[in-house]
Chain A
Amino acid sequence: MERSRREFLKIAGVSAAIGLGTGPVIEAVAAATGHQAAPEAQVAHHPEALKATRWGMVVDTRKIESAEQIERMVEACHKEHNVPMLEEARHQIKWIWETHFHNAFPSQSTDRISEHLEHTLLPVMCNHCENPPCVRACPTKATFKRESDGIVMMDFHRCIGCRFCMAACPYGSRSFNFRDPRPFIAETNKAYPTRMKGVVEKCNFCVERLAVGKLPACVEVSEGILTFGDLNDPDSEVSQLLKENYAIRRKTNLGTGPSVYYIV
């Protein structure tokens, strides 16, 4: 099986030519079978979609009279988003929930706070931070801040369940599905998907409602406690409220820049 140098080079040359030649052929075939969405199709915003450059919320704690008011917000939100109701504390999923002032504002709390604040529960949720630590922690970009309106969102499809975001969030706004949530949803809202086991979830400022021109579910049932609007618009209701009242944000010393304000 002696082969001359000349013969070897011939075979090598022919092989290389074939190899190079097949590339464009494969590409042409792939292009002919067309693996891409129809190019003529277009996408657009819903005509009634609500738009803002930085969505924000103002909670008027002076208007909170009873825990039932907050319960109603929680119920509306959790029903809308198919949030499961789990008994075991460490499995619970929360998008919006109630807490005491000293838990929500540990550094602003003193031994002598006003009686109203001491006894009322406050609604807390994802703060949709200007500088969200969860987004920096996410290795798959499943959680991201939408540049157009500042909402910190989740793409559940991409979440791998590493829970770095949960460790990064200083507000405990994120919950992990340790169990399949489906059996624990009493009444499913068929318009919104559920989640699956192994995925993190949190408040999304009702992005799916804003996209069709509706206010967030909690705001709708809040009886004026919650006000939602564009923080960058000086004429918006939230900006007016913040101009006229003293409001605080949760754990501002961490530099996250929350978009949820509390009038105290």
Chain B
Amino acid sequence: MNDKGKIVTGLVIFAALVTFPFWYNLGKAAPPPEVVLTEKAKAAGECVMPKEEIRTEHMQLLDVWRDTQVRDGQTVYINAKGKAYTMSLSNTCLDCHSNYKDFCDRCHAYASTDPYCWDCHIDNPKEGE
């Protein structure tokens, strides 16, 4: 056990390095993003699902929509409140939320996710470009 000092020093350095990102960024948390609603979205007042649910689960919803629409040919979604919507990212979601940069991108950038929906689905209509 002659190398005790070296081992302990090594462990301390290792622990410090591994936890470096945590204590380096301590107290400097990026502010949560604020999304901008378009006039149309504000006027609609409500989304397909309640705000909290759509915020955390829109990807699951879109996944279900895609399979139902493409595979089963069903196009109408009736939400828990009984309101009917067309199941379409291009024509329903992006119709209200037509401000891709100030809406979709803000949270996605914050959460460091990079969905490629817009490679095909046109951010509709293209504003300010």
Residues of A within 8 A of B (CB): 34-38, 40-46, 49, 144, 146, 148-149, 153, 155-157, 188, 190-196, 207, 210-212
Contact of A37 (CB < 8 Å), options: B60, B70, B71, B90: B60
- In chain A, what residue has the closest Cβ to B91? A191
A196 to B60, CA, bound (A): 22
Contact of A190 (CB < 8 Å), options: B61, B72, B78, B124: B124
A191 to B64, CA, bound (A): 20
Contact of B125 (CB < 8 Å), options: A42, A146, A190, A196: A190
Q: Give every chain A residue within 8 A of B66 (Cβ-Cβ).
A: 155, 157
A34 to B61, CA, bound (A): 12
Q: Is the CB of B78 within 8 A of A41?
A: yes
Q: Is the CB of B73 within 8 A of A193?
A: no
- In chain A, what residue has the closest Cβ to B62? A37
Chain A CB count within 10 A is highest, among B71, B79, B125, for B71
- In chain B, what residue has the closest Cβ to A180? B119
Q: Give every chain A residue within 8 A of B68 (Cβ-Cβ).
A: 43
Min distance, Cβ B24 to any Cβ of chain A, angstroms = 30
Min distance, Cβ B40 to any Cβ of chain A, angstroms = 15
Assuming the A-B contacts A37-B61, A43-B87, A157-B66, are A194 and B74 also in contact, with contact meaning beta carbons closer than 8 angstroms in the complex?
A: no
A45 to B84, CA, bound (A): 11
Residues of B within 8 A of A (CB): 49, 53, 57, 60-61, 64, 66, 68, 70-80, 84, 87, 90-91, 116, 119-122, 124-125
A190 to B78, CA, bound (A): 24
Q: Is the CB of A146 within 8 A of B73?
A: yes
Assuming the A-B contacts A37-B61, A188-B122, A191-B90, are A149 and B73 also in contact, with contact meaning beta carbons closer than 8 angstroms in the complex?
A: yes
A38 to B77, CA, bound (A): 11
Q: Is the CB of B122 within 8 A of A46?
A: no
Q: Is the CB of B57 within 8 A of A35?
A: yes
Contact of B80 (CB < 8 Å), options: A38, A148, A153, A212: A38
Q: Give every chain B residue within 8 A of A212 (Cβ-Cβ).
A: 75
Q: Give every chain A residue within 8 A of B84 (Cβ-Cβ).
A: 44
Q: Give every chain B residue within 8 A of A146 (Cβ-Cβ).
A: 71, 73
Q: Give every chain B residue within 8 A of A157 (Cβ-Cβ).
A: 66, 70
Min distance, Cβ A101 to any Cβ of chain B, angstroms = 34
- In chain B, what residue has the closest Cβ to A210? B73
A157 to B119, CA, bound (A): 11
